[in-house]
Structure 1
Amino acid sequence: MNLASISTKQYVEQRDKGYWIAGTRISLDSVVYSFLNGESPEGIVQNFPLLSLEQVYGVITFYLANQELVDAYLKEDEAEFRRLQEACREKNPLLYQKLKAAQAQKNSAA
């Protein structure tokens, strides 16, 4: 077999302002956060059974090769989430109070 005839695979694709595991509905964020939290590639496959071990390693390789870009992307997403969260709190403070009380009750029971 000639190395020139081997095609490279794309494990990550950009869609709708986000990054996704190619051919799936699983976000890059999900796999990267699992990896950053110390999850092994095999553990990530157990958590995302639609992914193969090859895909997980491909995504981790993509992350490591593009760490600055991906970290900046994740920070932007976190900032957007906080903005949306604050907007929801302002829009419906009663619901937020109920959620906060339920969370406090859950935490005290644990």
Structure 2
Amino acid sequence: MTLAIEAELAPLKTNADGVVLVGKTRVTLDTVVAVFQQGVTAEEIVYRYPSLKLADVYATIAFYLNHQQEVETYLKQRQQQAQEVRMMNQAKFDPQGLRDRLLTRKAEQEAC
């Protein structure tokens, strides 16, 4: 009996927003790489994110290790995008201004 060896594609797909997801889940490549870099094992990752399959986590880690430069570039781009969105939201919805308005409203209600 001979073993048929075939290359399998990494279980990664990019959604409409450009976010890379693992397997048929909503768990991002960012998440798996981040916890892996913290020293979490594949088994622990599946325990934390039960929608993931163990084989998909191992394949994702292997993909990351084989393509570290590209994945790190992708992760940096994602961090920059998140920072830009955060800054836009803070400009639109000043958190301090919102807090002040809520405190004023609360004080007015307590005065009644």
Query: After TM superposition, is the score higher than 0.5?
Result: yes
Deviations 1:54-101, CA, capped at 9 Å, x for gaps: 1111110011111111100000010011111111111111xx223xxx
Distance 1:36 1:5 in 2: 30
1:86 aligned partner: 87
Q: Is 2:35 the partner of 1:34?
A: yes
- Give the greater-gyration-radius structure (CA): 2
* Deviation (angstroms), 1:51: 1.2
Report the TM-score, using the length of structure 1 for normalisation: 0.75
Distance 1:45 1:78 in 2: 24
- Structure 1's unaligned 5+ residue stretches are 99-110
Question: Does the 8 Å contact 2:10/2:60 carry over to 1?
Answer: no
Question: Does the 8 Å contact 1:12/1:22 carry over to 2?
Answer: yes
Secondary structure, counterpart of 1:13 in structure 2: strand
Cα gap change, 1:34 to 1:8, in 2 (>3 Å): same
Question: Does the 8 Å contact 1:12/1:62 carry over to 2?
Answer: no
- Structure scoring higher RCO (CA < 8 A, sep ≥ 6) equals 2
- Structure 2's unaligned 5+ residue stretches are 100-112
Distance 2:47 2:28 in 1: 16
Report the TM-score, using the length of structure 2 for normalisation: 0.74
* Deviation (angstroms), 1:8: 2.3
Work out the percentage of aligned pairs sharing the same amino acid: 31
